[in-house]
Amino acid sequence: MVPERRRPPEASSKSSCSMMSESPRNRKPDLPFAPFDSTNLWCGDRHGRSFLEFSPPLVTQSSGLFGPDRETKSKKQHEPSPVDDPVMDWNPRLMLSNLSFLEQKIHQVQDIVRSIISHEDQFLDQANELAAQQQLVTADLTYIIIQLISTAGTLLPDIKNALLSTNPAVGRPGSNQKQHEILPVEVAKASQYDSLVKDLNSCGGNEDELIKCSNNSGVDASEPIPIEDHDTKDNDDGMDGENLPPGSYEVLQLEEEEILAPHTHFCLICGKGFKRDANLRMHMRGHGDEYKSPAALAKPSKEASIEPQPLRRYSCPFVGCKRNKEHKKFQPLKTILCVKNHYKRSHCDKSYTCSRCRTKKFSIIADLKTHEKHCGRDKWICSCGTTFSRKDKLFGHVALFQGHAPAIPMDDAKVLVTSDKAQVSEASSGMPGNMGYNFSGNTSLDAQSPDIKGVDDGHGCFSPMTLDACNIWGLAEFPHSAYEVSESTFSFLATGSCSSIQRNGEN
Amino acid sequence: MAKSRDLCRRIDRSDGFATLTLDLFSGSPNPNPCSYSRSAKRVRVSCVSPAAAAAEENRSNPFDSLSEEVLFLILDRLESDPLDKKSFSLVCRSFYAAESRHRRALTPLRSGLLPAALARYPSVSRLDLSLCPSVTDAALASVGGALRSSLRSIDLSRSRGFSYAGIESVAVNCAALVEINLSNATDLSDAAAAAIGRARNLEKLWLARCKMVTDMGIGCIAVGCQKLRLLCLKWCLGISDLGVGLVAVKCKQLRSLDLSFVPITEKCLPAVLQLPHLEDLALVGCLSIDDEGLMSVKQESKSLQVLDMSNCQHVNHAGFSSLLSKTPGLREISLAYYCKVTHSLASSLQKLYNLQSIKLDGCEVTTSGLKTMANSCRSLGELSLSKCSGVTDEGLSFFVTKHKGLVKLDVTCCRNITDLSLASITSSCTSLTNLSMESCILVSREGFRLIGQHCHLLEELDLTDNDLDDEGLRAISGCHNLSVLKIGICLKISDEGLIHVAKGCPNLQELDLYRSVGITDIGVMAIARGCPLLQIINLSYCTEVTDYSLRSLSKCSNLNTLEIRGCQVSSSGLAVVAVGCRKLTKLDIKKCYFVDDAGMLLLARFSQNLRQINLSYCSVTDVGLLALASVSCLQNMTILHSGGLTSNGLAAVLVACGGLTKVKLHSSFKPLIPKPILEHVEARGCLFQWRDKPFQVELEPSEVWKQQSQEMHV
């Protein structure tokens, strides 16, 4: 920590970025500034460091983030790497070796393509193999392009300067500790290209995510820690069925500022924030043609990690909340998304009011939109006065409470005769599709159907996540265990939903 | 006081007394009032000597000395015949009052009589309004007011004209109400269901065909009537899983649940099977239940005993086996019109140790299936293979040899079985009491003889449309307990066989001789003499039957149904029956061309209990029909092609007959009868059926029939 801090801030940022740029395929996932999303968080924490521990430095933009272990690591990685970083200063020998290496590489690719041609027949029935080969070719080509650009870049100082002036916010990553200690000035220039290279690498190579780094000099220095945002709701209550024994998972706790941050993806060039990675990539196209390549636009897919990921669960920063790790009956939240939605719903002001009924308030705009779809259409009424938009909800309510009965307007029995008919037809028509009422966990699942829909809509934003994350997400959205446990019982409504029903009644 | 207590004791002891003579005037402290004769149930309460009574005129009425306790005990013994009670109440004022207070069940003939009946009978607990086609809200309100504490059961299954308000007044006022039958109230909506929900103590509720009731309504009932033990929701098309599920949650006492033809799926079944006391479940015609659904049901039900899954067309053996494995306590299964009974289905019966009855009507039954069933089940008491295809001698014989305790067997229309089956049935199942084998055309006359020789315990026997002959009948006459014998369309039987039956079966109550054309007056006379308990006889199209038969049948005082279509009877014969058989309620004299107004006049005079009559093709005119209109019980009338009838006469009859519920008339009369009259009659609750059949002139109907049936059999 100490030596890092002593270094000028620029240098430290350089060093961090250089690490990213170097040897993309070998990069270990334990980068300190991995984007703040559910996938990378775990990677970043492989050494058991609690999130709490390193998040404040991030917020305060301290360079202490970059621990000494990283420095050694980057060196270690640098040495065995088959491909050297582009040289920062004009070194004809180095240039020559680079070019010859490129030549070799091109020959290699040629060989692969030839072999593809010669084995075309065999590949016909082995589509997987063909795809693998194609991937290899693409990866190699991308690499060659990167190398060409970086090699050429050292010869064009003018462009470097121009880039620097137009994009003051961009991170200026260095590449090599030794090099920029020896040649600090040169490094500053070369780092522009490094950042390009890094971006290209991270997009086109097998990188897991677009890497964002909040550096000292950037405009976004004041930005809170980026959080990946999925605009769907979590199901805070749905995880109750997950009975992980305490200690079998790690608990992370985010701070309020991190939870409430609007953006989670930031442009490294202009510093603009985005909620979705895909939007960032679209935005990046405006920064130059190099971002328009299919590789740059492709979804970054995560490397299959060699080590099994330990289970991560999240704690709500609100002390006293059941989701807070200090609570006696602590029930962890499953994903960052759950944390965000839980925190907003439970501990934030409900600032969104339904314009139609003017009574219902929400803290999440998606909840409001869901409500507005059904507001005013509550025709299923209980004798206690509570109204429901869905018949199965009413029946769940009636089944739960003693003495409550479905209410039938007695004064207009004549009207009822006709409306009954309508209901009958509606019930029968609705039945095949919506037989979801089985007095059990299904009901709580029903409650989430708008959420699920939302998930479907915003599916694109989940796609960058890899298998692990998807599993987690799936578990969170469909609490299978909860469903099965309560299937045969009638005391199925989770306490949360009951109370919400009651609240509805009071409203 | 001591005397009356003594009387009470004596009445208590005299269990089945038939004639009770109370000597109220002899001073003896210990009279011996009772004389027994079980055959004719009559009570004679008489003043021993009228002269003495006249002499004591100034003293108080001797019957007043009998305490109400004694009278109630006597009345308790008169439940069997309503006419007896009527006679009882006519003895004197105190008897009348006692009968009024004693009566618990009331079945008014029309709702107009309701106010008077309610005033007379204050402690009625069972009110059966099924004879009143039209019951208004006001009438129900008066019921609610009058029978506030006593009413326990009300039957509105055949009534219309009331709304939720009437039901509510009954449900709210009668706190003791335990049973409501609202079947066929097709226009009742959820409001009525909500009204029922206010009857907190309700235990039995029938809502069959209440198509307008939705989940909301049944939800109100479920919440309100938590003591329900029986609930029938047959044909309630507005009810779905939600409603049934709520019923299952709230009404934990349910014993019997009928969900036939309700559009439910398997989603509500776990909740239903979870009911701790459920014994009887009917899922007839639940087309939304399928194999996969049933297999997904994991809930067990230890209490379930009777399961009816007839007509569930989307359930196959996989789903059914899965359900059976969850219900180990089943006693009865009905799978009528189930697709195919094979080995795999039959083997799923193996775990049901208590199984006693299987009904497979209309199924396709394979021989291997029947054999597996025979091996899987312990000891069946009842098996119904009615209209099953694929039943062979091999399968059936194997089955009956495994189940010798079989009591009821139905092999109606099993057209492949022969004498072989019959031989094994009769040799193994000697304890059979019910045997139905209509239209088993391959069984020969020898086979039928075996029945009589071996199955002496038979009580009901259906041999309609078979190759039965007099020898067979003679053998059958050995079944001395026989009470129901159906030998219609048996063309080979004659009077000789019937005489044997008359001698051997004194307990015969129902005899069907439809189109058994070999029968003449001699046979019928023998039956009438030998079977005095006869209640139902069908002699339709026995063209040799004449007035002589009717004269002899008039001795059967219990006769309530007489069908003599196409017989050569006249008014005089009918008159004799009318005088002799006072309990006659159903009479079919279609195509009795010689019956005319004279017969109607006497019928109207003597058969005051007549409810249903068919007068088509008779020579009845307006006069006869108007006379008939005085029969106050008359509900159902069919008059087609009666030559002497005019529209005016018919209109008068329709207005005069206050209790009509169904009238079948020729459509040519429809425009001739004034519309207001039709509307008035319809408003009283009468349904009109207009038929447009051409007049049929049958020269020799019996001959034609004989030929046809012979061709069929060849």
Which of the residues A420, A442, A446, A486 would you substitute to probe the B interface, choosing the one with the greatest number of B C-beta atoms within 10 Å?
Answer: A420
Q: CA-based angle B65:B70:B73, to the nearest 5?
A: 160
Q: How confident is the model at residue A481, as a pLDDT?
A: 38
Q: Which of A261-275, B96-110, B494-508 has the highest mean pLDDT?
A: B494-508
Q: Which of A145-154, B335-344, B443-452, B568-577 has the highest mean pLDDT?
A: B568-577
Q: How confident is the model at residue B207, as a pLDDT?
A: 95
Q: Which of A185-199, A245-259, B106-120, B568-582 has the highest mean pLDDT?
A: B568-582
And the tokens for B625?
A: 């029909």
- Pairing type for strands B126-128 and B105-106 reads parallel
Average pLDDT over residues A449-459: 36
Tell me the CA distances in angstroms from B533 to A232, B476, B562, B578, one per residue in order: 81, 18, 14, 17
Higher pLDDT, B553 or A466: B553
Round to the nearest angstrom and report the end-to-end CA distance of chain B. 77
Please return the burial class of B84, using the count of CB atoms within 10 Å of its CB with bins 0-12, 13-18 and 19+: middle
- Is the CB of A405 less than 8 angstroms away from the CB of B224? yes
Q: How confident is the model at residue A58, as a pLDDT?
A: 39
Neighbours of B446 (CB within 10 A): 14
Beta bridge mates, B308: B282, B334
Whether the CB of B168 is below 8 Å from some CB of chain A: the reply is: no
Give the CA-trace dihedral at B573, B575, B579, B584, to 10 degrees. 90
Q: How confident is the model at residue A61, as a pLDDT?
A: 40
**Nearest beta carbon to residue B214 from set A423, A438, A439:** A423
Q: Among all chains, which residue has been given the structure tokens 């067990």?
A: B300
Phi first, then psi, for residue B225 (nearest 5°) are -105, 75
Q: How confident is the model at residue A336, as a pLDDT?
A: 82
Kindly tell me if the per-residue pLDDT of A496 is higher than 60.
Answer: no
**Nearest beta carbon to residue B189 from set A406, A420, A488:** A420
- Is the CB of A404 less than 8 angstroms away from the CB of B299? no
Q: How confident is the model at residue B227, as a pLDDT?
A: 94
Residues B124-154 have pLDDT tens digits of: 999 999 888 889 999 999 999 999 889 999 9
Higher pLDDT, B599 or A230: B599
Chain B residues in contact with A403 (beta carbon < 8 A) = 223
Kindly tell me if the per-residue pLDDT of B55 is higher than 60.
Answer: no
Beta bridge mates, B194: none
Q: Which of A183-197, A342-356, B6-20, B245-259 has the highest mean pLDDT?
A: B245-259
Q: How confident is the model at residue B183, as a pLDDT?
A: 94
B480 and B500 in contact (C-beta within 8 Å)? no
Find, in chain B, the residue whose alpha carbon is nearest to that of A430: B240
Whether the CB of B224 is below 8 Å from some CB of chain A: the reply is: yes
pTM given for the model: 0.63
Kindly tell me if the per-residue pLDDT of B536 is higher than 90.
Answer: yes
**Residue % of chain A over a pLDDT of 90:** 1
Average pLDDT over residues B231-240: 95
**CA contacts within 13 A on the Cβ side of A344:** 26
Distance (Å) from the alpha carbon of B242 to chain A's nearest alpha carbon: 7
In sequence order, the 6+-apart residues with CB closer than 8 A to the CB of A53 are none
Q: Model confidence at B11, in pLDDT bands (50, 70, 90)?
A: low
Which of A14-28, A376-390, B284-298 bottoms out in mean pLDDT, i.e. has the lowest? Answer: A14-28
Q: Which of A58-67, A118-127, A308-317, B544-553 has the highest mean pLDDT?
A: B544-553
What does the mean pLDDT of chain A come to? Answer: 59
What distance in Å separates the CA atoms of residue B352 and residue B713, rounded to the nearest whole number?
Answer: 42
Which of A305-319, B150-164, B307-321, B678-692 bottoms out in mean pLDDT, i.e. has the lowest? Answer: A305-319
User: What interface predicted TM-score (ipTM) does this complex get?
Assistant: 0.79
- Pairing type for strands B364-365 and B340-341 reads parallel
Q: Among all chains, which residue has been given the structure tokens 């004269």?
A: B551
Q: CA-based angle B111:B114:B120, to the nearest 5?
A: 160
Distance (Å) from the alpha carbon of A417 to chain B's nearest alpha carbon: 6
Residues A269-287 have pLDDT tens digits of: 888 888 888 888 888 888 8
Dihedral angle sign, alpha carbons of residues B194, B196, B199, B201: negative
Find, in chain B, the residue whose alpha carbon is nearest to that of A379: B216
Q: Model confidence at A301, in pLDDT bands (50, 70, 90)?
A: low
Distance (Å) from the alpha carbon of A442 to chain B's nearest alpha carbon: 11
- Is the CB of B246 less than 8 angstroms away from the CB of A403? no
**Nearest beta carbon to residue A427 from set B215, B249, B274:** B215
Q: How confident is the model at residue B603, as a pLDDT?
A: 93
Q: How confident is the model at residue A273, as a pLDDT?
A: 85
Which of the residues A408, A415, A445 would you substitute to probe the B interface, choosing the one with the greatest number of B C-beta atoms within 10 Å?
Answer: A408
- Is the CB of A420 less than 8 angstroms away from the CB of B298? no
Distance (Å) from the alpha carbon of B294 to chain A's nearest alpha carbon: 14
Kindly tell me if the per-residue pLDDT of A181 is higher than 60.
Answer: no
Q: CA-based angle B562:B565:B566, to the nearest 5?
A: 145
And the tokens for B496?
A: 């000789």
Kindly tell me if the per-residue pLDDT of B386 is higher than 50.
Answer: yes
Q: Model confidence at B503, in pLDDT bands (50, 70, 90)?
A: very high
**Residue % of chain B over a pLDDT of 70:** 89
H or E element in which residue B72 lies = helix B68-76
Q: Helix crossing, B2-13 with B68-76: angle to 10°?
A: 10
What distance in Å separates the CA atoms of residue B531 and residue B542, rounded to the nearest whole number?
Answer: 19
**Nearest beta carbon to residue B240 from set A408, A410, A431:** A431
- Is the CB of A435 less than 8 angstroms away from the CB of B267? yes
Residues A189-223 have pLDDT tens digits of: 444 545 544 544 444 444 343 333 333 333 343 44
Distance (Å) from the alpha carbon of B271 to chain A's nearest alpha carbon: 8
Q: How confident is the model at residue B598, as a pLDDT?
A: 93
Average pLDDT over residues A340-361: 85
- Is the CB of B298 less than 8 angstroms away from the CB of A488? yes
Chain A residues in contact with B214 (beta carbon < 8 A) = 420, 423-424, 427
**Nearest beta carbon to residue B241 from set A398, A403, A435:** A435
Q: Model confidence at B694, in pLDDT bands (50, 70, 90)?
A: confident
Residues B394-431 have pLDDT tens digits of: 999 999 999 999 999 999 999 999 999 999 999 999 99
Chain B residues in contact with A391 (beta carbon < 8 A) = 215, 242
What residue type is A470 in one-letter code? C
**Nearest beta carbon to residue B191 from set A391, A408, A488:** A408
Distance (Å) from the alpha carbon of A393 to chain B's nearest alpha carbon: 10
Average pLDDT over residues A161-169: 44
Q: How confident is the model at residue B32, as a pLDDT?
A: 42
Find, in chain B, the residue whose alpha carbon is nearest to that of A437: B242
Beta bridge mates, B687: B662
Average pLDDT over residues B514-540: 94
Q: How confident is the model at residue B420, as a pLDDT?
A: 93
Instruction: Put residue A311 in one of left, alpha, beta given phi > 0 → left and psi -120 to 50 → alpha.
Output: beta
Q: CA-based angle B550:B555:B558, to the nearest 5?
A: 105
Phi first, then psi, for residue A278 (nearest 5°) are -65, -40
Q: How confident is the model at residue A84, as a pLDDT?
A: 43
Average pLDDT over residues B692-711: 61
Average pLDDT over residues B363-372: 90
And the tokens for A269?
A: 């060039």
Kindly tell me if the per-residue pLDDT of A377 is higher than 90.
Answer: no
Which of the residues A398, A418, A493 would you substitute to probe the B interface, choosing the one with the greatest number of B C-beta atoms within 10 Å?
Answer: A398
**Nearest beta carbon to residue B191 from set A403, A413, A490:** A413
Average pLDDT over residues A92-113: 83
Which of the residues B221, B242, B301 would you substitute to probe the A interface, choosing the one with the greatest number of A C-beta atoms within 10 Å?
Answer: B242
Higher pLDDT, B713 or B685: B685
What distance in Å separates the CA atoms of residue B482 and residue B434, rounded to the nearest whole number?
Answer: 9
Q: Helix (H) and strand (E) counts for chain B? A: 29, 28
Residues B578-600 have pLDDT tens digits of: 999 989 999 999 999 999 999 99
Average pLDDT over residues B362-368: 90
In sequence order, the 6+-apart residues with CB closer than 8 A to the CB of A107 are none
Chain B residues in contact with A446 (beta carbon < 8 A) = none
Q: How confident is the model at residue A253, as a pLDDT?
A: 84
Higher pLDDT, A458 or A291: A291
**Nearest beta carbon to residue B238 from set A391, A410, A427:** A427
Q: Among all chains, which residue has been given the structure tokens 């000494």?
A: A68
Q: Model confidence at B527, in pLDDT bands (50, 70, 90)?
A: very high
**In sequence order, what E strands does B589-697 have?**
612-614, 636-639, 662-666, 687-691
Dihedral angle sign, alpha carbons of residues A384, A388, A393, A394: positive
Distance (Å) from the alpha carbon of B237 to chain A's nearest alpha carbon: 8
Distance (Å) from the alpha carbon of A406 to chain B's nearest alpha carbon: 6
Distance (Å) from the alpha carbon of A243 to chain B's nearest alpha carbon: 24
Average pLDDT over residues A416-434: 38
Q: DSSP 3-state helix, strand, coil percentages of chain B (rounded to 5)? A: 40, 15, 50
Chain A residues in contact with B164 (beta carbon < 8 A) = 413
Residues B624-661 have pLDDT tens digits of: 999 999 998 899 999 998 878 899 999 999 999 888 99
What distance in Å separates the CA atoms of residue B529 and residue B540, rounded to the nearest whole number?
Answer: 20
Higher pLDDT, A151 or A486: A151
Q: Which of A407-411, B90-94, B371-375 has the highest mean pLDDT?
A: B371-375
**Nearest beta carbon to residue A424 from set B238, B250, B274:** B238
**Residue % of chain A over a pLDDT of 70:** 41
What distance in Å separates the CA atoms of residue A160 and residue A175, rounded to the nearest whole number?
Answer: 16
Q: How confident is the model at residue B533, as a pLDDT?
A: 94
Chain B residues in contact with A486 (beta carbon < 8 A) = none
Residue A197: closest CA among A255, A131, A151, A251: A151
- Is the CB of A431 less than 8 angstroms away from the CB of B197? no
Higher pLDDT, B409 or A291: B409
Distance (Å) from the alpha carbon of B272 to chain A's nearest alpha carbon: 11
Kindly tell me if the per-residue pLDDT of B48 is higher than 80.
Answer: no
Residues A383-422 have pLDDT tens digits of: 888 888 788 989 999 999 988 989 886 544 444 443 333 3
Interior/surface letters A265-294, b for 16+ CB within 10 angstroms, e for the rest: bbbbbbbbbbbbbbbbbebbeebeebbeee
Whether the CB of B250 is below 8 Å from some CB of chain A: the reply is: yes
Q: DSSP 3-state assignment of B478?
A: coil
Which of A88-92, B363-367, B428-432 bottoms out in mean pLDDT, i.e. has the lowest? Answer: A88-92
H or E element in which residue B485 lies = strand B484-486
**In sequence order, what E strands does B606-647 have?**
612-614, 636-639
What does the mean pLDDT of chain B come to? Answer: 87
